[in-house]
Amino acid sequence: MKATKTILAIFIANSLVISSSHAALQATPTQYGDNASAGTPTSSAFGSYANASGSDGTAIGSNSKSSGNQSTAVGHTSWATGQSSSAFGENSTASGDNSTATGSLSSASGELSTASGYFADAKGDRATATGANSNASGANSTAIGANASASAKGSVALGSGSVADRENTVSVGSAGSERQITNVAAGTADTDAVNVKQLNDKAAETLNSANSYTDTKITETKNELNANIDKSKQEAINTANNYTDSKITETKNELNVNIDKSKQEAINTSNNYTDSKITATKNELNVNIDKSKQEAINSSNNYTDNKFQQGISYTDKKYEQSIQYAQGAADKAEQNANNYTDNRFNQLSNQSNQRFEQLVMMPTY
């Protein structure tokens, strides 16, 4: 196979040299092979039924076709129909402008697309499909690897069987057939990928930072709470003490007022009682004094009267006795008796008068 390709390449090169030399002499179509056809003076067709209809086109191989201007078709039944397109390989097709299809049954239908590999298919504009049965149908998509598929815009499928069906994503596997990306250097820019070590280190750093932050916040919160508790406690104590002191002061003042009031009331009551008692006592004493005075006067008068009456009675008795004695005595005896009676009566009268004067002179209360 390698020898055949080498011989074909030498043949093509020689043909191109001959064609160029011939063209230098005269611009005529170049065509070699049964029913080969070169449609323009600057096109070339090599092989049975090869057809180069596009300007400056080249068709090499049986049934090859180069219809797009500046297009190239190399291989059995290869077709390059897009402008400036290239198709290399059996049944390869490059239908998109500036597209390239390389490999048997490969197809590059999107503009500026590239299909490389057996049955590779690049449908999307500026899409690239590399690998057997690879498919890049999304615009600006890339599928690399056998059976790789990039169907979404700007997607990339890397590896056999990889599927990229979301826009602007890179896939290295498919659902159920995931792959690891190994030997990834640590990312440095904001948009770089990170490896597991870097992720673990960052996770550990984040965890440590979070733990440190949490510990710091817990400590700060505890300190703040303790400070608030102490402050609240002290405020409560101060409030309670102030309230207690205030109430004690109010109570003391109230008690002092009540004590002073009660004291004054007691003094007033006592004074009033004392005054009333003194007044009552004075009145009673005055009554008693007056009564006693009157009783004393009455008693003295009664005594005097009694004594006086007794004196009179005694005198009368003695007088009667004297009369009786005198009647039985002589005249001299009667005279002596009368004298004696008169003397005694005078004495008694004097004594009674003195006694009466003493009673009258007694002090009154």
Residue pLDDT, tens place only, 83-141 = 999 999 999 999 999 999 999 999 999 999 999 999 999 999 999 999 999 999 999 99
pLDDT score recorded for residue 326: 57
pLDDT score recorded for residue 56: 97
Please give the tally of structural domains in the chain. 2
Residues 135 and 234 both lie in one domain: no
Return the percentage of the chain with pLDDT > 90, whole number: 47
Residue segments in the chain with a per-residue pLDDT below the cut of 70 = 1-27, 285, 289, 292, 296, 300, 304, 308, 311, 315-316, 319, 321-330, 333-334, 360, 362-365
CA 76/CA 62 separation, integer angstroms: 5
CA 66/CA 8 separation, integer angstroms: 18
pLDDT score recorded for residue 24: 43
Kindly report the CATH number assigned to the domain that includes residue 137: 2.150.10.10
Residues 50 and 175 both lie in one domain: yes
pLDDT score recorded for residue 107: 98
pTM above 0.75, yes or no: no
Strands ordered across the beta sheet of 114-116: 30-32, 44-46, 58-60, 72-74, 86-88, 100-102, 114-116, 128-130, 142-144, 156-158, 170-171
Residues 201 and 331 both lie in one domain: yes
Asked which of 159, 191, 223 is the last residue of a domain, the reply is 191
C-alpha distances in angstroms, 59 versus 36, 64, 353? 9, 5, 200
Amino acid at 175: A
Residues 247 and 302 both lie in one domain: yes
pLDDT score recorded for residue 250: 83
Indicate if the alpha-carbon torsion angle 63, 68, 72, 78 is positive or negative. negative
Residues 209 and 184 both lie in one domain: no
Determine what percent of the chain falls in helix, strand and coil, rounding each to the nearest 5.
50, 15, 35
Contact 152, 139 (CB under 8 A): no
pLDDT score recorded for residue 45: 97
Give the number of other Cβ atoms within 10 Å of residue 271's Cβ: 11
Asked which of 147, 175, 191 is the last residue of a domain, the reply is 191
CA 253/CA 264 separation, integer angstroms: 16
Token pair listed for 347: 């004495």
Asked which of 191, 207, 229 is the last residue of a domain, the reply is 191
Residues 254 and 128 both lie in one domain: no
